[in-house]
């Protein structure tokens, strides 16, 4: 039996704590790179959003690849290889090719869109003044106010369009002929006085109704009749003071663009359309325009613009050679 001094042994457990290994700081470097890249990206977005169109266009041109020549090696005309290289003949070398892209050349307008808009606004104002002048002239002039219903003015994408059409009372041309009536001459003479003040080039369109051209000739159709009438109007306007160089085209439309589609044989479909072309101005010195004489020119008449038909038709013939016959034209 153990003595009273015997005590239970005291057991002390010592735990040696070993610090964990260092995990490293690579993730911090990656995170810092990510944050820096994001900051640069948002800074780029901010700069682009505050830049003008001219600056952005300049950046685009700067990064556009320039035009060059490449071959199999991608550089030079021969790609670094020469015809004398051993084992390679000139005929075996690839042919030069063009690299896509271009180098900007010439001067660039500060803002082409604004210039185009300004030109369009100028034409709109000019056409408004010209249209008002035509309307007022045919309402206020006692010599032509009876023809006010024969003239219609409108603005189209092509320019200021002035339709001079027939009515139940007055016709522009003789029936089935390209000969102007007295009414047609009075209207065109008044129109020339107004249009000569406008700087725009001009297009002339001839239109007929849907009635057949009853001229007694099978090869003389509405195509030839409309083109001849447009040419007659051009010649009369030239004699009345309109510069010959002003006319850019003379077109025969036949009955392809009816003014009153619901009445294909109505008188308003028989018309001449004068179009002052948008964005197309003529500048002729005063000395370059010869004074008008009995035939409208001092010397030989200038060559007439070619009459254009919208669809193929038979060869045009002079209306004077065609026998007159009653018709709805």
**pLDDT score recorded for residue 304:** 44
CA distance 262 to 321: 33
Contact criterion met (CB below 8 Å) for 213 and 224: yes
DSSP letter at 82 equals -
Contact criterion met (CB below 8 Å) for 202 and 276: yes
Residue pLDDT, tens place only, 25-83: 788 899 999 999 999 999 989 988 898 888 888 888 888 876 554 545 454 444 444 44
CA distance 228 to 319: 7
Q: What percent of the chain has pLDDT over 70?
A: 65
**pLDDT score recorded for residue 99:** 43
First to last CA, the chain: 152
> Partners of 204 in the beta sheet?
250, 274
**pLDDT score recorded for residue 13:** 78
Task: Kindly state the average pLDDT of the residues 312-326.
Answer: 40
Q: Is 62 helix (H, G, I), strand (E, B) or coil?
A: helix
Mean pLDDT highest for which of 71-80, 234-243, 278-287?
234-243
Q: Nearest Cα to 215, choosing from 206, 223, 207? A: 223
Top-confidence residue, 296 or 282: 282
Contact criterion met (CB below 8 Å) for 130 and 118: no
In this prediction, residue 283 has a pLDDT band, given cuts at 50, 70 and 90, of low
Task: Kindly state the average pLDDT of the residues 247-269.
Answer: 94
Both tokens assigned to 96: 């030069």
**pLDDT score recorded for residue 3:** 56
Fold for 113-321, please state it.
60s Ribosomal Protein L30; Chain: A; (3.30.1330)
Cα angle value 244/245/251 (rounded, 5°): 80
Task: Detail the DSSP E strand segments found in the chain.
Answer: 69-70, 97-98, 151-156, 159-165, 200-207, 247-252, 271-281, 307-309
**pLDDT score recorded for residue 116:** 61
Both tokens assigned to 233: 């109007």
Of 117-126, 189-198, 239-248, the one with minimum mean pLDDT is 117-126
Mean pLDDT highest for which of 63-72, 104-113, 289-298, 299-308?
63-72
**pLDDT score recorded for residue 121:** 79
Burial (CB < 10 A; 0-12, 13-18, 19+), residue 79, is middle
Contact criterion met (CB below 8 Å) for 243 and 273: no
**pLDDT score recorded for residue 240:** 95
Q: Is 229 helix (H, G, I), strand (E, B) or coil?
A: helix
Q: Is 69 helix (H, G, I), strand (E, B) or coil?
A: strand
In this prediction, residue 237 has a pLDDT band, given cuts at 50, 70 and 90, of very high
Contact criterion met (CB below 8 Å) for 250 and 131: no
Both tokens assigned to 88: 């390679």
**pLDDT score recorded for residue 68:** 52
Cα dihedral 285/288/290/291 (nearest 10): 20
**pLDDT score recorded for residue 184:** 95
**pLDDT score recorded for residue 256:** 93
Q: Is 155 helix (H, G, I), strand (E, B) or coil?
A: strand
Task: Kindly state the average pLDDT of the residues 229-251.
Answer: 95
pTM over 0.75: no
Task: List phi, psi (to 5°) of 162.
Answer: -120, 110
Residues 6+ apart with CB under 8 A from 227: 206, 250, 251, 252, 307, 308, 309, 316
Residue pLDDT, tens place only, 193-233: 999 999 899 999 999 999 987 777 888 899 999 999 999 99
Distances (CA, A) of 137 to 6, 196, 212: 142, 14, 34
* Residue 248 clears pLDDT 70, i.e. is over it: yes
């Amino acid at each position: 039996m153990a003595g009273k001094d015997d005590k239970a042994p005291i057991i002390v457990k010592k735990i040696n704590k070993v610090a964990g290994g260092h995990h490293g700081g690579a993730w911090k470097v990656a995170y810092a790179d990510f944050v820096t890249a994001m900051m640069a990206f948002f800074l780029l977005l901010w700069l682009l959003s505050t830049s003008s169109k001219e600056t952005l266009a300049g950046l685009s041109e700067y990064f556009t690849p320039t035009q060059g020549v490449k071959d199999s090696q991608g550089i030079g005309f021969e790609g670094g290889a020469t015809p004398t290289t051993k084992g390679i003949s000139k005929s075996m070398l690839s042919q030069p090719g063009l690299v896509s892209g271009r180098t900007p050349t010439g001067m660039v307008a500060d803002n082409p869109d604004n210039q185009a808009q300004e030109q369009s606004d100028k034409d709109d104002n000019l056409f408004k003044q010209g249209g008002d002048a035509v309307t007022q002239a045919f309402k206020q002039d006692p010599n032509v106010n009876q023809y006010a219903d024969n003239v219609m003015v409108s603005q189209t994408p092509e320019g200021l369009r002035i339709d001079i059409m027939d009515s139940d009372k007055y016709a522009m041309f003789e029936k089935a002929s390209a000969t102007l009536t007295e009414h047609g001459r009075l209207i065109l003479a008044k129109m020339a006085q107004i249009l000569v003040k406008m700087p725009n080039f001009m297009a002339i369109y001839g239109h007929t109704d849907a009635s057949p051209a009853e001229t007694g000739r099978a090869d003389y159709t509405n195509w030839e009749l409309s083109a001849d009438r447009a040419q007659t109007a051009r010649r009369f306007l030239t004699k009345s003071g309109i510069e010959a160089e002003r006319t850019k085209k003379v077109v025969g439309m036949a009955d392809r663009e009816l003014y009153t589609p619901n009445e294909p044989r109505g008188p308003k479909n028989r018309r001449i359309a004068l179009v002052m072309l948008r964005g197309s101005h003529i500048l002729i010195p005063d000395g370059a325009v010869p004074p008008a004489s009995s035939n409208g020119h001092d010397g030989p008449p200038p060559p007439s613009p070619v009459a254009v038909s919208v669809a193929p038709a038979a060869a045009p013939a002079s209306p004077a050679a065609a026998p007159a016959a009653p018709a709805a034209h």
